[in-house]
Amino acid sequence: MQKGKKNLTNAELLAIILGSGSQDESAVELSKRILAAFDNDLIALAKLDSKSLCKFKGVGPAKAVSVIAMLEIGRRMKGLTPDSKPKMTSSKDIYKVLRASMEDLQHEMFKVIFLNQNNSIITIKTLSEGGIAGTVVDPRLIFKEALNQTAVAIILAHNHPSGNLKPSQSDLNITQKMISAGKLLEIKVLDHLIISEQGYYSFADEGLM
């Protein structure tokens, strides 16, 4: 209250969430020890589950859940926008909307953004989730949902847990298949983004659409 939130270190902010330390160390000291284990990388910390957090002496299930909840709120806030139906005008717009929910996942996820005539978002759907190596995408399900949403255009996106942004041959194949199917139904496939902690790769920006 005296310093103001912007003047607190990551360790001090985490200490407030933890609430207390142990007999051997204060909450701040405990927070510093936890952060030091991840080189003070909050994104790496956000990937932990409660079981992993509880391995740190002084952290029980209740504290672990509090930390996970706090980091999840932070992740979700990154994806918020004042406009409930933002307009997609560039790959940067797409990345801004999707990065919070996709950039640090440990498994692959395939999302589709459904757009109206003005390229404003109707809805965003997760169409497939898989393992570390990949996920299976069914074009029929995607275009069925596009018709249900009366979408005139769609944007594809999936993440690479490895961090590598280079599209695989499978990525290239599914993109071309979706473009061909979209032409038959008069539903444009505007872009396909690969997202990771390293940033993003846009098929449209690279002339692959």
Tell me: the pLDDT tens digits for 17-32?
Answer: 999 988 889 999 999 9
Q: Is residue 54 predicted with pLDDT exceeding 60?
A: yes
To the nearest whole percent, how much of the chain has pLDDT over 70? 93
Question: Where on the phi/psi map is residue 57: left (φ > 0), alpha (ψ -120 to 50), or beta?
Answer: beta
State the Cα–Cα distance between residues 113 and 9, nearest whole angstrom: 37
In 3D, which of 90, 98, 82 has the Cα closest to residue 157? 98
- State residue 89's pLDDT score: 93
Position 151 confidence tier, pLDDT thresholds 50, 70, 90:
very high
pTM over 0.85: no
Position 7 confidence tier, pLDDT thresholds 50, 70, 90:
confident
Residue partners of 148: CB distance under 8 A and separation at least 6 = none
| Amino acid letter for position 96 | K
SS3 letters across the chain: CCCCHHHCCHHHHHHHHHCCCCCCCCHHHHHHHHHHCCCCCHHHHHCCCHHHHCCCCCCCHHHHHHHHHHHHHHHHHHCCCCCCCCECCCHHHHHHHHHHHHCCCCCCEEEEEEECCCCEEEEEEEEEECCCCCCCCCHHHHHHHHHHCCCCEEEEEEECCCCCCCCCHHHHHHHHHHHHHHHHHCCEEEEEEEEECCEEEECCCCCCC
Residues 72-130 pLDDT 10s: 887 776 655 545 567 899 999 999 999 888 887 888 999 999 999 999 999 999 998 87
Q: Looking at 58-62, 66-70, 75-79, 154-158, which range is the least confident one?
A: 75-79
- State residue 107's pLDDT score: 87
Please count the other Cβ atoms lying within 10 Å of the Cβ belonging to residue 136. 12
Residues 164-173 pLDDT 10s: 999 999 999 9
β-strand partners of 189: 154
Please count the other Cβ atoms lying within 10 Å of the Cβ belonging to residue 119. 17
- State residue 185's pLDDT score: 94
- State residue 83's pLDDT score: 53
State the Cα–Cα distance between residues 120 and 117, nearest whole angstrom: 7
